[in-house]
Amino acid sequence: MACPICGPKLSAYCMVLSVWAIIMLGLLGLFFYIRSPALFEDIPLGDWEKNNYTYSYVKEKYEQNAMNCWIAAGLYFLLLIFSFTQQRMNSRANYELS
């Protein structure tokens, strides 16, 4: 049996953080994907490009940000799986000791 890397408090904290991040980044990616005007300031336009942007260019940047959010949500999902397995290992280790 493998020994846990994280303690029970850290693994629980990482699970809560991961769930929150997955929800937040998933919704943020959705809003970028539907091109929410409130997020226009968050798309990466250079200084010289702000005056010369086209609709297709801005649409591409919105989609790029949406994909980045979804990739980050996927990484947090992996952290959630890791934290869950660590929590299970800690609970089994505590059960075996008692």
- pLDDT by residue (tens digit) across 56-96? 888 999 999 999 999 999 999 999 999 999 999 988 766 66
Task: Answer yes or no: are the C-beta atoms of 33 and 66 closer than 8 Å.
Answer: yes
**Residues found in the chain:** 98
Task: Answer yes or no: are the C-beta atoms of 11 and 90 closer than 8 Å.
Answer: yes
pLDDT digits over 8-30, tens only?
A: 999 999 999 999 999 999 999 99
pTM comes to 0.84
Task: Answer yes or no: are the C-beta atoms of 18 and 79 closer than 8 Å.
Answer: yes
